[in-house]
Every structure is written in C-alpha cells, then in structure tokens.
Amino acid sequence: MAVEKDRRSFLGFALGGFTAVGGVAALGAMKGSWDPLPSVKAAGFTTVDLSGAEENVLNVEKWRGKPIFILKKSADMKANDRDIVIGDARYHVSIGLCTHLGCIPAYFPKDQQFVCACHGGMFDASGEVLKAPPPKPLVIPPFKLDGTKLVLGEEGEEYKKMKTAGLV
Ligand code: FES
C-alpha cells in the first residue's frame, strides 16, 4: 500500500508541475498578445516615397486603417491650392472615403474623376465635389514632407498652411 501511495503522490506532483509550467507558458503567451507590437506603435505614421509615382495613376496606401489616395497630377489637370507640391510635381492626397457616408470612391483615369458608387457622388482629381450628395471635398490627412517622402500622421508646415486656409 505504501508503494501505491508514493506512486500517487509522485503522479500528483508531476501533474501539478506540468500544469504550473503550462500555466506560466500560457500567461507568457497572453502577455505577449497584450503588448502592442512595435509595428503598431509606429503605425501612427506611414511614410510613402512619392518619387516613383506615375501621372494619373491612383495609388492607394493605408494609414490608421483608412485608404489614402495619392494621385500624381498630369500637366493637363487643373492646379489646386489643395495640391501637395514637390519640385515641379503636384499630387492630390486625400483620405479615400466619400464625405457623404464614407464609401470608397473609384478613380476613373480617362475622366480624371472619382466616382462614388453608393449614391453617385463625384469628385475631380483634386478631390473637389463635382456632383452631390457629398457635402465637401475629400479630406486631406495630416502630412509632413520629407524630401520626396510623404509622412502621413504628422502635421508639417504645408499641412498647417492648408489647415489655416480651411482647405483640409
Ligand atoms: S457615400 Fe458617396 S455618395 Fe453617398
């Protein structure tokens, strides 16, 4: 009987040990998932190099979970105070959500227009409203220029000037 009792005690300890180790490992894994990833901490900012952009080709980036439209304007497109100017190049940059109810408009390069399929709203290549119901132009996200790089999420001088002028 003493042998049987010792065996049971051993099994109890062994099982308890495995459970404790498993519990600590599980807690470690959970702790890992609670901590934000380094990429998440840095995700407030998105840097996009505009030097490779092609005229009249819409690039869609992602910033804080939102689509960001970046359109390098061609010479035949009307200049606008909302344009981001780098050297001789002009860019339209906006949050790619319709200002009516938030659908994502599509860009039609031939017409140089954004069209929102939800209720037929239209914007020109500068994000200005061509056709209601959108009540206002596409919104310009906070940005900073760093050479040919666009840093989304930071308010640089150019953005502050636009903001003061009520253009964003
Ligand atoms: S959401 Fe775009 S027109 Fe209504």
Number of the ligand 1 atom closest to the C-alpha atom of 120: 3
Ligand 1 proximity of 133 Cβ (cutoff 6 Å): yes
Tell me how far CA of residue 13 lies from CA of 1, 2, 8, 27, 136, in angstroms: 19, 17, 9, 21, 70
User: Along the chain (168 residues), what's the average pLDDT of each consecutive run of 10 residues?
Assistant: 54 49 44 35 75 92 92 95 94 97 97 97 98 97 93 93 93
* CATH class entry, domain 43-164: mainly beta
- Euclidean distance between CA atoms 161 and 51, whole angstroms: 23
Q: Report residue 126 CA to chain centroid gap.
A: 20
Residue 51 is predicted with a pLDDT of 87
Cα 63 to averaged position of ligand 1 atoms, centre (Å)? 21
- Euclidean distance between CA atoms 122 and 104, whole angstroms: 11
| DSSP states of the chain | -HHHHHHHHHHHHHHHHHHHHHHHHHHHHHHHHHSPPHHHHGGG-EEEEGGGPPBT-EEEEEETTEEEEEEEPPTTSPP-TT-EEETTEEEEEEESS-TTT---PEEETTTTEEE-TTT--EEETTS-EEESS--SPPPPPPEEEETTEEEETS--HHHHHHHHTT--
Select from 130, 146, 137, 124 the least CA-distant residue to 166. Answer: 137
Residue 42 is predicted with a pLDDT of 53
The residues, ordered by sequence, that sit 6+ positions from 82 with a Cβ below 8 Å of its Cβ are 92, 126, 127, 128, 137, 140, 162, 167, 168
Cα 92 to averaged position of ligand 1 atoms, centre (Å)? 20
Domain boundaries, the chain: 2-35, 43-164
Residue 41 is predicted with a pLDDT of 32
Residue of 99, 101, 107, 130 to mutate, ligand 1, most atoms within 8 A of C-beta? 101
